[in-house]
Structure 1
Amino acid sequence: MKTNTKQISKFLSLILRHNPGKIGLELDENGWANVGELINKANTQRKQLNIDILKEVVETNDKKRFAFNEDETKIRANQGHSIQVDLEYTPIKPPEFLYHGTVGKFREDIKRNGLLKMNRHHVHLSEERETAMRVGSGRGVPIILTVRSGDMYRKGIEFYQSDNGVWLTDMVAPEYIEFKA
């Protein structure tokens, strides 16, 4: 039987980023879940998880959403949480420009208010336009916003980079966003 890694990835996103209580799982303060406990509790929900399936999802997820600890006894989402966790990020200097993919219906709101983290911990940005294009196309016809992250950094605004390469910041004010096509 072929593993449906996309479906399992969506399930893991729900559990590890937003609602671990849905299966009675507890995350530690840094967002880590015990792998054995996750497998056992997911299987009570008819998810048919095992360590090999988890490894396949971690290794093949195109956005590298999940990570194991060194001995693979714990797993967590790399970013995108709506629940309180401390991912232990250290501020670092970003590239001069970063990109954000969205759709046209949000353009005017972003021009007015900037990029806001909404129900997540951070605004997500990428180093490559292609990645931003892929992210934006998940919600419709994408538009790519260029963020002057170097200017933000020089003004004292902190940036972080998750283990999977996503750039994170608390918000991006409209004056740092270029609204080209």
Structure 2
Amino acid sequence: MDEKRTVKASKFLARVLRHEPGLIGVTLDEGGWVDVDVLLAACAAHGRRLSRAELEHVVETNNKKRYAISEDGRRIRASQGHSVSVDLGLAPAVPPDVLYHGTATVTVPIVLREGLRPMSRQDVHLSADLETAVRVGSRHGRPAVLAVDAAGLAAAGHVFRLSANGVWLSGPVPPERLRLLPS
């Protein structure tokens, strides 16, 4: 599978498994899982033929580890980033003292005024390292990185969860727990 086809398949899977399962007529269970054979048949029926080997290649080579295949190999889901309602079953976890959020510089004034909100997703996404936050922020223009006082939030009862691919998930983060890092 060439790189261009891999990227195209990954983007399509993200759309289906995170946001629009109905696009190809599949239904995610409460945990976001769908049967692999059902997914592959639905993809083929909608002109997006993908073999089991190609699907596994997309899952294994995705640099953000966006997808997870169940231990028995029968089901697949997105690791996080859903706009459709799912319960990933992630237990609360103790975060590092500081987490990071990458965004575009144009959104910084709003974020510093209103805090971080999930927007169209179920959770706010945070990174454990600065490099990942810069990369995330770069997707939408010139990046800016905000440091999140995760220790202070956790001490105040804020719940954090760690997704299978290392993304920290939380509810809204108030502006007083954010600090803009110098660029």
Q: Could you say which TM-score interval applies, normalised by the shorter chain?
A: over 0.9
Q: Which residue of 1 aligns with 2:30?
A: 29
Deviation at 1:180, TM superposition (A): 2.0
In 1, Cα distance between equivalents of 2:9 and 2:181: 36
Q: How does 1:14-163 map to 2 (within 5 A)?
A: 14-163=15-164
Q: Which residue of 1 aligns with 2:8?
A: 7
Q: Gapped runs of 5+ residues in structure 1?
A: none
Deviation at 1:42, TM superposition (A): 0.2
Deviation at 1:44, TM superposition (A): 1.3
CA offset digits 1:33-84 (Å, max 9, x no partner): 1100100010112212111111111111111100000111100000000011
Question: 2:75 is matched by which residue type in structure 1?
Answer: K
Question: 2:45 is matched by which residue type in structure 1?
Answer: T
Deviation at 1:2, TM superposition (A): 2.9
Q: Which residue of 1 aligns with 2:171?
A: 170
In 1, Cα distance between equivalents of 2:72 and 2:124: 30
In 1, Cα distance between equivalents of 2:110 and 2:140: 16
In 1, Cα distance between equivalents of 2:28 and 2:170: 23
CA offset digits 1:124-165 (Å, max 9, x no partner): 000010000111111111011111101100011000000000
In 1, Cα distance between equivalents of 2:37 and 2:23: 17
Q: Gapped runs of 5+ residues in structure 2?
A: none
How much identity, in percent, do the aligned residues show? 45
In 1, Cα distance between equivalents of 2:150 and 2:140: 24
Taking structure 1 as the reference length, what is the TM-score of the superposition?
Answer: 0.98
Question: 1:170 is matched by which residue type in structure 2?
Answer: G
In 2, Cα distance between equivalents of 1:128 and 1:19: 30
Deviation at 1:89, TM superposition (A): 1.0
User: Would you identify which runs of 4 or more consecutive aligned residues in structure 1 move more than 3 Å?
Assistant: none
SS in 1 for 2:122: coil
In 2, Cα distance between equivalents of 1:78 and 1:180: 28
RMSD between aligned alpha carbons?
A: 0.9
Deviation at 1:110, TM superposition (A): 0.5
SS in 1 for 2:11: helix
SS in 2 for 1:139: coil
CA offset digits 1:4-27 (Å, max 9, x no partner): 111111100110000100101011
